[in-house]
Chain A
Amino acid sequence: MASAALGGVAEAKTVIHVMHQGDPGWVATYGEIAKRFEAANPDVDVELIYAPHDAYNEKFSAAVMSKQLPDVMELDAPFLANYVWSGYLQPIKLLVDKDVIDDMTESNIAQGTYPIDKDLYAVGLTDSSVVLYGNKKYLEAIGARIPKSVDDAWTREEFEGYLEKLSTLEGVKWPIDTFRGYGIKTEWITYAYGPILQSAGCDLIDRKTWKSVGTLDGDPCVEALTMMQKWVTNGWVVPQSSGTNQFFAEGHPAALALGGHWFYAEAAASMKDDIVVMPLPKFGPKGASPNGTWIWGITTASEHPDIAGKFISFMLKDKLYRDYAREDSGYPGLKSFAADSPLYAAGGPMAVAFEQASKTAIARPPHPAYPAITSAFMGAVDEIFNGGDAKAALSKAAEKIDEDIEENDGYPPFDEQQ
């Protein structure tokens, strides 16, 4: 009787499944949030489904194939268009609290918006960016100008001039670490190097016609990648085999680092005041920086989208969640979180990184072909860095992207967008 009664109580509870990735700190934090949400909503059970960062896409594919999509899922922002187009996500504006939606930064809205219906499909507490870290001593030794704001960023000529000077400075083994050590299996190449193309006046794909041939293999892109290839062949860039710690490793062999906002915590722990944070250089007519991180969406398979939305709202407002994100150098995606993050506030060491969000941030192409776009581009960059011809490699990548789009009949209605 007792067990039957208990069974009855258990059945009365609504269960929502939340799929996420993250390091041990985040896993523990999500566990705590789930407990607090359950305490505040005694009729709801939150079941967390964890998948390691590197295998998240495989786990998601398995969930799709076995029809076991969760209610709430964490997703990498550039994959949003693909997921929405495939019918996996639903709009969240009416499901998540209005004060949370109103609190989103422009960049956060951009990363969660589907370009066809301009509706919001995902929201996050955080966003991301890439900046140029510099070793203060080395920069002073070559008399480099230290930019104080995004408007003040180095030009291409200045940047390459400093690379050349640094290459002959005593103690410097490599003028810059562009984090080739992250390899070609992560999003790093498209995420961090894509803005260099955009700053140089081109893109991975034409965002009106959604054709890559003529854009990715156009002259500005070929010129930009040839420039980067020159950095590599000159021996200015930390090679892939040397890992991702050369900026702050013993002896500080790398003078500059084109690194993500998260790199600050690692570097500052070792270099203390010897580190300067600068905006990404302007490689052409305008500045450009990346954005986008892991954000939260509600799947179309959810039988309880209202509770799923309630959970997301609860989490994004949760004080301990925000405290942990702040400790983890989380890059603010909500205005209230930005106001509460001294690292990114005016005068803070990473202020210039946050300034990029409103001035130069460009989302990766919001198109369902993004998985093909990023894969083709990463392959091309790898080929170019290993001595391949930039024009040939980019043409091959552009053709591959266009082929994928053609094979999917233009991913309608993207083919109707002009």
Chain B
Amino acid sequence: MSELAIPTLEAQVKSERSAIGSLRMVQTASILVIALVIVSPLFMLLIASLKDDRFQILADMGSFRAFWVSNPTLSNFAEIGNLSGELAFGRYLVNSLIILASTVGAGLIVNSMAGFVLAWGSLRGRALILSLVIALYVIPQESIIMPLVIMVSRAGMTDTFAVQIVPWIASPLYIFLFYQFFAQLPKELFEAAQIDGASVFRIYRSIFLPLSLPALATVSILMGIESWNQYLWPILVTQTDYARPIAVAIATFFGQDSIYWDRAMAASVLMMIPILALYLAFQRWFVSSFVGSAVKG
């Protein structure tokens, strides 16, 4: 019996190993397919940005030629790289970076402070304020956009950088994210600092903020993407090139009768770079924040 059992067990182990191997192969293949689906449009974008004939780009779409360039050129990038004059895309890119940096910078301070006060402050009615913040989150931006246009125009803020930064600094979502993060930190930290005589602001700045890198990274990336992709708002509140961001400028290439695919693709590649850099810079904390949330959930 035992002589018979040993080969059976071996066969079973072999069969299980082979099943696991097959499963891994299927997994790897699936991941590769998913990666291909995600990466191929980006690759196509990059390839198209290196072609200088917009009609050819359109003719190539839908075939494998969309993924191949025989005479790559940087002429599209050269054409859109101006810092002054009509359609100064270099200028628009700089404008977008200013808006991004200011919104994210100010947003991290304001939202984290608000989240901290709601989690640990001695403010009366914190629970009510928190409920209101959560309730505000469900109001879609589109529904308040026209009243907001009227407000900023009456305040004389149109066509400025401020009008694209100030309204988006405080956000119920990010306040709530910070609140959630701060609230789960041990109470002892707060109490120990209090016993040592630290003020609430000092506790926030010197203890809680340095511990909240994952939350800061998450909010930076989410807020950065949101600010970078703003389209309708800048269209409504900017009139000239002075503070116009690149997302609006790219829409110029999509005209009434024709689409300038060559330069639109090059501008899109340029537009992708900063936000990709932001993600790569913060991805470690961003991922750990998400993993942390998942484990807690």
Contact = CB atoms under 8 A, between A and B. Distances in A.
Main secondary structure of the interface of A (DSSP, over half): mixed
Interface stretch (B199-207, B233-241, B275-283): B233-241
Interface string A354-367: 00000000000000
Nearest to A251: B63
A62 B159 CA distance: 13
B236 A58 contact: yes
B95 to A, nearest CB: 14
A148 interface: no
Contacts, number: 107
Nearest to A265: B258
A24 B150 CA distance: 29
Interface in A37-80: 47-55, 58-59, 61-62, 65-68
Interface residues of A, number: 43
A23 B258 contact: yes
A31 B153 contact: no
Given A49-B239, A52-B235, A250 B63 contact: yes
Of the listed residues A27, A62, A245, the one surrounded by the most CB atoms of chain B closer than 10 A to its CB is A62
A54 B258 contact: no
Contact of A66 (B59, B61, B150): B150
A50 B236 CA distance: 10
Interface in A215-259: 242-246, 248-250
B229 to A, nearest CB: 14
Contacts of A68: 153, 158
A14 to B, nearest CB: 18
Contacts of B253: 23-24
B232 to A, nearest CB: 6
A355 B256 CA distance: 23
Nearest to A269: B55
A24 B62 CA distance: 25
A238 to B, nearest CB: 11
A65 B252 contact: no
B258 A52 contact: no
Nearest to A331: B257
A47 B158 CA distance: 14
Given A23-B255, A250-B60, A65 B239 contact: no
Contact of B240 (A47, A61, A65): A47
